[in-house]
Structure 1
């Protein structure tokens, strides 16, 4: 057996340096295409609550034709905030499918943030009205910031943004990121903000409905991020009954996403839209929902992008990993 095998370690600083938004969107789109063609496999998701108060999950899959195999171990530990750390924790491993040998270990937090925001951008580009001018964002954390950043890139028509913070108070760090990109205001009344909106982005911890269903007006598109575990939800009862639903994966959405609350609701997978297997033509009065639970293939295609660039540029740390 070879004794000179190595393993590449890529930390968060290198990952953040290599995550170029347009390239991440392209990698995520490829993931949806692979899933839509069933050219890539998504293995059963592990998502379990821990006695420590955390949530631990594993998303894994492969693309046999591209020799791509790996998984992301990730979860949510809210007590990390009391330690000055990030509540979301994720690590991605890529393997050589011919031997099972690990090729690289990559910090997964930045990958998760970017690939989820890129998926949201695809949802907006395909599902939202092109003249959408007003958006409301629920949440002010890392994912909410990323979702809004990608949304403003994707829909140049968005000029006004309401944001709803947990305590309904202005968040200076959130405002500083977007003050020169749009008219931004902290909304004290969630229903009022939603009633004004063409686009609604929900990026919270999914602890319960965020607004009253009656506030949602015809023609609105919703990108829903926070429901990714059994028992989580962000949408009030009644929204799914009124909406046209797109999911990243039907089985996952029924198990972990908003669709868990109405599993028989008709829906279409995003992969079928990007490959043309399903068509989307919205009426101006349609309400649409993109229920995002996150695909392992998104993590893998973006991690491969990071691995290739880090290798080419000589970034990361290479350690001996003999057989």
Structure 2
């Protein structure tokens, strides 16, 4: 049976076997460069609230030179928590650009988590002060965990991590993940924790502003993850105007990211930073912000990598998909 008459299915278990954090960082870096060099296209984002209480989105794009075409259907269903399941859900589909036939369907949850973590890691490596020792993380869920893990990898000087939960209490599970690598403890007050931190990571559902603008001191770097839909925000009014702002995509940031609240603020796309190949020069008092809304190219480049690995290692379930 020829491969073009079959469909490869990669479930959660397959993806977890194939994923390598280091290789994902390489793939995400490639996606930023493809975007900057205009070799990869991003199609208009779909992001809509549902009557069920969920949020449904589609991110899609292509890289013609690589024969890469596809989309990720994803969103946020808070009701899943009531049955002990993950509220973020994602499915990635790779499509043959010559025939329009689907070639691979992949569980996208782990891919979304780790590619966002990898993007955050690249941002910290290029934008944050390398001597940073203190960090504050808003959120303790899956995305906060992966962002913290990568932050400790790329900023080895980090020694102290404070975190904020939605209820303001402790999260023993989060602490246990990082206790061997740094001092980790709950923050008693959001503003005080931000003021004491060199790095701030916001990884919440983006329902409301998390801290006051006046709490952010010169020299701070902030990575923003939670604003990915119209109406969402994590940063206070006036902060973007004080900072050097970097985005994964300028259009998306204005449409669904933090720049929807300050669309006239100038920004730089992060792909240009990577293309220059040098850590961004910054003054000791400069505030930098990286607004990550997530690129379809990140999902597709990582998915293509897994598809290739799966073929080499015989991983996945192949089903007949005749013309």
- Asked if these proteins are the same fold (TM beyond 0.5), I'd say yes
Deviation at 1:188, TM superposition (A): 1.8
Q: What does 1:48-59 align with in structure 2 at a 5 Å threshold?
A: 48-59=48-59
SS at match of 2:276: coil
**Equivalent-residue separation in structure 2 for 1:115 and 1:66 (angstroms):** 19
1:95-139 residue CA offsets vs partner (Å, 9 max, x unmatched)? 111111111000000000000000000100000001000000000
**Equivalent-residue separation in structure 1 for 2:85 and 2:316 (angstroms):** 22
Contact 1:4/1:320 (8 A) holds in 2 = no
For 2:28, the equivalent position in structure 1 comes to 28
Deviation at 1:279, TM superposition (A): 8.5
For 1:41, the equivalent position in structure 2 comes to 41
For 2:11, the equivalent position in structure 1 comes to 11
**Equivalent-residue separation in structure 2 for 1:160 and 1:77 (angstroms):** 33
Contact 1:205/1:227 (8 A) holds in 2 = yes
Deviation at 1:278, TM superposition (A): 10
**Equivalent-residue separation in structure 1 for 2:156 and 2:277 (angstroms):** 28
SS at match of 1:275: helix
**Equivalent-residue separation in structure 1 for 2:310 and 2:56 (angstroms):** 28
**Equivalent-residue separation in structure 2 for 1:276 and 1:175 (angstroms):** 37
Unaligned runs of 5+ in 1: none
Q: What does 1:154-173 align with in structure 2 at a 5 Å threshold?
A: 154-173=154-173
For 2:93, the equivalent position in structure 1 comes to 93
Does 1:102 pair with 2:109?
Answer: no
For 1:63, the equivalent position in structure 2 comes to 63
**Equivalent-residue separation in structure 2 for 1:263 and 1:100 (angstroms):** 36
Deviation at 1:146, TM superposition (A): 0.6
1:23-67 residue CA offsets vs partner (Å, 9 max, x unmatched)? 101000000000000000000000000011100000000000000
**Equivalent-residue separation in structure 2 for 1:165 and 1:3 (angstroms):** 47
Q: What does 1:136-151 align with in structure 2 at a 5 Å threshold?
A: 136-151=136-151
Contact 1:91/1:107 (8 A) holds in 2 = yes
**Equivalent-residue separation in structure 1 for 2:112 and 2:4 (angstroms):** 32
For 1:309, the equivalent position in structure 2 comes to 309
**Equivalent-residue separation in structure 1 for 2:228 and 2:291 (angstroms):** 9
**Structure 1 stretches (4+) deviating beyond 3 angstroms?**
277-280
**Equivalent-residue separation in structure 2 for 1:305 and 1:314 (angstroms):** 14
Deviation at 1:10, TM superposition (A): 0.3
**Equivalent-residue separation in structure 2 for 1:17 and 1:282 (angstroms):** 39
For 1:252, the equivalent position in structure 2 comes to 252
Unaligned runs of 5+ in 2: none
Change (3 A) 1:288 1:3: closer
For 1:318, the equivalent position in structure 2 comes to 318
Does 1:73 pair with 2:73?
Answer: yes
Deviation at 1:281, TM superposition (A): 1.6
Contact 1:272/1:278 (8 A) holds in 2 = no
Change (3 A) 1:265 1:4: closer
